[in-house]
Amino acid sequence: MKILLVYPEFPDTFWSFKHALKFIQKKAGAPPLGLLTVAAMLPAEWKKKLVDLNVTELKEEELLWADYVFISAMVVQRESVKAVIKRCKKAGVKMVAGGPLFTMEHENFPDVDYFVLNEAELTLAPFLNDLQQGNPQRVYSSTEFPDIHQTPIPLWQLANPKYYESVSIQFSRGCPFNCDFCNVTTLLGHFPRTKTASQIIAELDNLYALGWRKSIFFVDDNFIGNKKHIKTEVLPALIEWRKGKAGMPFSTEVSINLADDEVLLQLMVQAGFDCVFVGIETPNEDSLTECSKTQNKGRDLVESVKSLQRAGLQVQGGFIVGFDNDSPAIFQQQIDFIQKSGIVTAMVGLLQAPLGTHLYDRMQKEGRLVNEFSGDNVDGSTNIVPAMGLEPLRAGYRKILSQIYSPKFYYERVKTFLREYKAPQITAQFEPQYLLAFWRSVYQLGIHGVERVQYWKLFFWTLFRRPRLFPLAITFTIVGFHFRQVSDLHVV
């Protein structure tokens, strides 16, 4: 059996980093973890090939070669998915689809032959068995959540590492919290299911043996969802594994209550984590109550962020405007918070209601659902009717983007962060493209860029005040260029 695994293209979004990746001659952030994990679950004797449309094109001869095309996607990849389906239909090759997009709305894709939905540990084996028996059903789904102790090591060797800047791995699925706009618990449950420490070490050993030395992103929606297991088993194992190894800094997603646990925080830094994404959402306490973001309430959010930064963690933040309790003052409040906190990578989006969330159900009952959920956090769209009105919300949103990613505000925020940040002791592996990226930043941003004044101020300030952080400062100038390109699409 010949299996072609196709990963659809991401549009130009906040997290695509397309404009920044060009500086280091990379095409995508990371290879598709889900598809590579599914590939490892397929019979070993089957022939497998990966086509990631974010780094290469899908050729006609590849479709003709395949017995089946396996496709997985998130909602934001919907348009590329439609194009792939059309090509597969024309080529006469059968399709097997899974992942978040199809799990939530598979009925919208009538030309797909088979759907393997929810988590593959439960639904893939029955499909493969029926397929080999010559009697596959069209839809395989499950309401249960599998034990992931048997989840195999992804087949990373199917991906060409030269195209990517990072690699993703997964330790846990599920989140203990209940934010009403988030569909993680709908898809993956409230109880965090974890892999064993030995599983994670085996995955890291596999990557290390393949020669990988760059960053690794733990894709868990809340890495610290099971604190006891993390503190007593996983982080000590990571600390031991890292001894004598260069590079491979870790990043992940956590809830803000990490700032309350000094032991856990220090263990994460010792294990090699240097960056975390945190859902801040809003400084408005009433809006936090509205969306059941209880873990963010009753605390000094700015001080919590700075505690993480001072410990050695960059904090990337997610922010939302458009809650029913948001007044017109929220836009300036968000700007002030982002600037004061020194969150350089601040993703701000309009409130959206994914299918399966409490917010979706409430909006449906109130007759406030419109349009289609885009899955893009920063495209300026929403599928609900906002309480403050759509035009005031969009105007306020444009105000936020036009300020926080303007050179003046952005470079000020970088300095605010660099003043607080305690850089972890991770020995990075030098690569020639990083030196090339530096000179490109000098030419494109320092000489020809609209930010050239701010660029050189930051350049020399960091060189003399925080020289160890100079490479990070240059990285921020490049990333900021990407954010401006994306935000400019929505500031009209």
- Span 234-281, pLDDT tens digits: 999 999 999 988 889 999 999 999 999 999 999 999 999 999 999 999
Q: Are residues 323 and 271 in the same domain?
A: yes
For residue 153, tell me if it sits in a domain. Answer: no
Structure tokens at 391: 């035009």
For residue 160, tell me if it sits in a domain. Answer: no
Distances from the Cα of 486 to the Cα of 331, 369, 398, 480, 481, angstroms: 19, 26, 12, 10, 9
In whole angstroms, give the CA distance from residue 96 to residue 115.
6
Q: Are residues 412 and 439 in the same domain?
A: no
pLDDT at 247: 85
For residue 285, tell me if it sits in a domain. Answer: yes
Q: How far is CA 426 from the centre of its chain?
A: 22
Q: Are residues 128 and 26 in the same domain?
A: yes
Range of the domain at 407: 165-420
| Tens-digit pLDDT profile for residues 199-231 | 999 999 999 999 999 999 999 999 999 999 999
Structure tokens at 325: 């309790």
For residue 147, tell me if it sits in a domain. Answer: no
Q: Are residues 125 and 172 in the same domain?
A: no
For residue 390, tell me if it sits in a domain. Answer: yes
pLDDT at 230: 96
pLDDT at 431: 77
In whole angstroms, give the CA distance from residue 470 to residue 473.
5
Q: Are residues 407 and 454 in the same domain?
A: no
Q: Are residues 169 and 214 in the same domain?
A: yes
Q: Are residues 415 and 436 in the same domain?
A: no
| Tens-digit pLDDT profile for residues 393-412 | 999 999 999 999 999 999 99
In whole angstroms, give the CA distance from residue 235 to residue 224.
11
Q: Are residues 92 and 231 in the same domain?
A: no
Q: Which of 367, 398, 420 is the last residue of a domain?
A: 420
Query: With DSSP H G I counted as helix, E B as strand and the rest as coil, what are the percentages for the chain, rounded to 5?
Result: 50, 15, 35
Burial class (CB in 10 A: 0-12, 13-18, 19+), 146: middle
Q: Are residues 130 and 185 in the same domain?
A: no
Q: Which of 398, 420, 442 is the last residue of a domain?
A: 420
How many separate domains does the chain show? 3
CATH (domain of 174)? 3.20.20.70
Q: Are residues 19 and 98 in the same domain?
A: yes
Burial class (CB in 10 A: 0-12, 13-18, 19+), 183: buried
In whole angstroms, give the CA distance from residue 397 to residue 354.
20
Q: Output the pTM of the full model.
A: 0.95
For residue 231, tell me if it sits in a domain. Answer: yes
Q: Are residues 328 and 237 in the same domain?
A: yes
For residue 260, tell me if it sits in a domain. Answer: yes
Q: Are residues 112 and 248 in the same domain?
A: no
Do residues 473 and 414 touch, judged by C-beta distance below 8 A? yes
pLDDT at 490: 63
Per-residue pLDDT of the chain (492 residues; tens, 9 = 90+): 999 999 999 999 998 999 999 999 999 999 999 999 999 999 999 999 999 999 999 999 999 999 999 999 999 999 999 999 999 999 999 999 999 999 999 999 999 999 999 999 999 999 999 999 999 999 999 999 999 999 999 999 999 999 999 999 999 999 999 999 999 988 999 889 999 999 999 999 999 999 999 999 999 999 999 999 999 999 999 999 999 888 899 999 999 999 999 999 999 999 999 999 999 999 999 999 999 999 999 999 999 999 999 999 999 999 999 999 999 999 999 999 999 999 999 999 999 999 999 999 999 999 999 988 888 878 889 999 999 999 999 999 999 999 999 999 999 999 999 999 988 777 666 678 889 999 999 999 999 999 999 999 999 999 999 999 999 999 999 999 999 999 887 654
Q: Which of 395, 420, 445 is the last residue of a domain?
A: 420
For residue 149, tell me if it sits in a domain. Answer: no
